[in-house]
Structure 1
Amino acid sequence: MVRLANKLSALKVTNVNKRGWYSDGNGLWLQVSASGSKSWVLRFNFAGTRHHMGLGALRDLPLAQARVLAQDLGRRLRDGHNPLADRRHLDAVRRADKARQMTFDDCAKAFIKAHRASWRNPKHAKQWESTLETYASPVFGSLSVADVDTAMVVKVLEPIWADKTETAVRLRGRIESIMDWATVSKFRSGENPARWRGHLDYLLANPSKVAPVVNHPALAWAEAPIFIKELRERDGFAARALEFAIYTAARSGEVRGARWAEIDWDAAIWTVPAERMKSRREHRVPLAPACITLLRSLDANAEFVFPGRQGKMLSDMSITSWQSEFEASRTALRPVF
């Protein structure tokens, strides 16, 4: 049976607005959506399965061009080729070409951009950029991310693995994350060359053996009263902030950013908002009598509980200087509790 072709006219195609399917013959259809947009679809059977293949919007593909394209695809179909499979293969080739153009540095920039908003400290992004630019970029930054291999990663890490172990460990993790991002983004495939377990751990020494972690010496609990007594004798908001941090076992940023509005005097509770917490969750801290006494000795009319210069938030260096003078850290004081 002869199949009718060229059923539609340019005028019909332009004027039709009713939602539906309009056949031009030989499997070529004009689809009009509920919103009035128009596009071409090729309907065909291949290996006993019905397929719909989009050819493009009417605004980009006039009737005459759509017919020529449908005829070309029809010839491929008669020769035993699936037009959809051909398209997928071409798309894969194009993605591969694009991947070869995506360098490691390009992927690093894209990864940092994607995750910057989730990093609390702006310095974190700068640290990523600095370490990658200093160590990774000179070796393989300009290379296609698909070509970066284990030998290149080792070449970056090995020179600093013994002397700058902490930096090297963080750098390895950052390279691994970027390579994972590139794999998920289809810019590379295969094993992650920066993976540690079962991979680089066979090529590089265990970092904990190269540079063992040395913790701050803890203050003996029996010496805590003496330490607090000496601290109370010091003037200034930095000393009071450090004392408050000791009572609450809170982090520097949480204490320095404390505002009077966060203090519930009746319940003796300090509520730290989520944005100042490392866990990003609101934290309620019970205040012992010593905390309440300390707070009542301060000016509750200021915005910050422990204000710095000109009423602004106290700097972290202010507290750090007190710690240095007393040869102790907040972390070293926590075991006392």
Structure 2
Amino acid sequence: MARGINKLSVKAVAAAREPGLYGDGGNLYLQVADIDGAGPTKSWVLRYMIDGRARKMGLGSINDFSLAEARERARQIRQKLADGVDPIEARLAARDAARKETAENVTFKAAAEKFLEVHEAGWRNDKHKAQWRSTLASYAFPSLGTRPVKAVDAPLINAALAPIWAKTPETASRVRQRVERVVQWVKDGMPLPATAKAKRVAHHAALPWQEIPAFMAELRQRDSISARALEFTVLCAARTGETIGATWPEIDLDGKVWTVPAARMKAGKDHRVPLSDRVVEILRDLPREKGAPYVFPGGKEKSPLSNMAMLELVRGMRPGLTVHGFRSVFKDWASESTNYPNIVSEAALAHTISDKVEAAYRRGELLEKRQKLMRDWSAYCARPPVVGANVVEIASRARLEA
């Protein structure tokens, strides 16, 4: 009776010349190929089925592995299969991990220079290019340049930027963002930048942040549910859907917190919004419809405000603006006019932090810091507008809102 495994012999392996597969049993085969008539080449392969798929895995040339060694390699792979592991996928994962380990062992300076080499061609602003290079050279390379990328974490970045954090917080914040972007780029496998076509995103027209007091002063003069909803949205840096779906059980007027449930959040997580005194005042003055839960009732009985109501109001006041654009105004104001760390404004906008380095800064919800931020934002929005200020011109910018 034929043997189930170990069917081949060393002599048979040496003698095989016809192209084809010669089975040794146990899914192991000797593969003989003749490419372009150059003579036979021989290698080992393992054939198997997993999840309904037929797969073939190369085990190396007979010049590198003897018959006995090929059988041992096949035995080890069959053990993985018995454990439900696809050996091809496991091999690929190991290679990917090795490549990532090699990449992350590159020094931060080398990685940053490679990042700039790959991305600078797509940056049209020469000043932006120069700032990237000069700020990294001045503030990051001295302490981080010789470190491997995988070692660049929150404590190291903090230490590098500590000397300028109080003196020039805006510069420090930008340098930190640039360092983190380089680190994440390496972790992501050093991807090439997207093509111009792939970069096309929706544009949300937005006022320059310096002009928001004038806009809000005009908005406060309007007496309608949509006007109060828009003012609420701007002061909370909220999305349209979050506002029009707001219900009274979500609002804690005494605690001055609005808890938006995960079902209405883009990130799929509950989001607590600190409420400024002006927002609480808006809420207390709103009429309540008996038996209806919505904070901002619509035209139909027991229904919320239309999702177009605020947009139509904005377009009537400043043609071309969008409700979503006010989130950009808030972000620009926080970045350019305050000393709050980037993560605080990002948390206020309920943006998801995918970067582990950035995420390391965030502990909990940063609710206390966000309370101060939203209070300052409300105070800024309530400033008397500058007499004679031109509030008609619109600055349009692309905003990727995660």
TM-score, scaled to structure 2 = 0.39
- Whose relative contact order is higher, 1 or 2, with alpha carbons under 8 Å and at least 6 apart? 2
